[in-house]
């Protein structure tokens, strides 16, 4: 009888510890949508933090992009409240979106990969932060000079 109580106590303790570890790991992993690895350069990690927030187009202020920490991108295209919800990630890899791109950590190259939630299509843009991190430039790959956009943080 004494051994049975001891066994049940050990099994209960093991189950409690295992359950707590599982719950913590799931919650922790769900909050890491925009993941950083040990191999990511510092500037890329900082960019993922600095991009969070609402950005207004310099050419058309009613157009806003809201980057969220969970990897969601909310795009408002006009004053009528038309909203598109996509996902995004910031990377420094090649190739992306079918293009061989420069990956140069000295030049701090980085790209925004935007994925349409409805059809899964990806579009990619080179990302540059202006000094002070209050403005960004996005140059759409494959679009030439017509693909240049700048945004200011609200």
Q: How many CB atoms lie within 10 A of CB 113?
A: 18
What value, to the nearest 5°, has the Cα angle with vertex 53 and ends 50 and 56? 110
Judge if 86 and 127 occupy the same domain. Answer: yes
Classify residue 37: in a domain, yes or no: no
Judge if 49 and 89 occupy the same domain. Answer: yes
Instruction: Place 26 in a pLDDT band, splitting at 50, 70 and 90.
Output: very low
Global pTM reads: 0.72
Closest CA relative to residue 133, chosen from 51, 39, 62: 51
Classify residue 36: in a domain, yes or no: no
Residues sharing a CB contact under 8 Å with residue 83, sequence separation 6 or more, in sequence order: 74, 75, 76
And the tokens for 96? Answer: 């992306």
Instruction: Place 1 in a pLDDT band, splitting at 50, 70 and 90.
Output: low
pLDDT at 94: 92
87-124 tens-digit pLDDT = 999 999 999 999 999 999 999 999 999 999 889 999 99
Indicate the pairing of strand 53-57 with strand 72-76: unpaired
Over the chain, what is the mean pLDDT? 83
Better-scored residue on pLDDT, 54 or 7: 54
Judge if 147 and 126 occupy the same domain. Answer: yes
Better-scored residue on pLDDT, 5 or 131: 131
Instruction: Place 129 in a pLDDT band, splitting at 50, 70 and 90.
Output: very high
67-92 tens-digit pLDDT = 999 999 999 987 777 788 999 999 99
Q: Which domain holds residue 49?
A: 42-153
């Amino acid at each position: 009888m004494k051994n049975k109580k001891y066994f049940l106590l050990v099994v209960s303790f093991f189950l409690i510890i295992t359950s707590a570890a599982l719950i913590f790991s799931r919650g922790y992993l769900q909050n890491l949508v925009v993941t950083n690895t040990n191999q990511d350069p510092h500037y890329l990690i900082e960019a993922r933090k600095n991009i969070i927030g609402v950005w207004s187009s310099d050419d058309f202020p009613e157009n806003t992009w809201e980057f969220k920490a969970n990897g969601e991108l909310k795009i408002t295209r006009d004053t009528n409240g038309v909203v598109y919800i996509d996902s995004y990630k910031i990377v420094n890899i090649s190739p992306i979106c079918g293009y061989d791109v420069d990956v140069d950590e000295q030049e701090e190259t980085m790209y925004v990969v935007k994925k349409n939630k409805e059809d899964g299509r990806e579009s990619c843009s080179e990302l540059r932060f202006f000094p002070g991190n209050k403005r960004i430039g996005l140059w759409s790959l494959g679009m030439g000079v017509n693909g240049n956009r700048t945004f200011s943080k609200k």
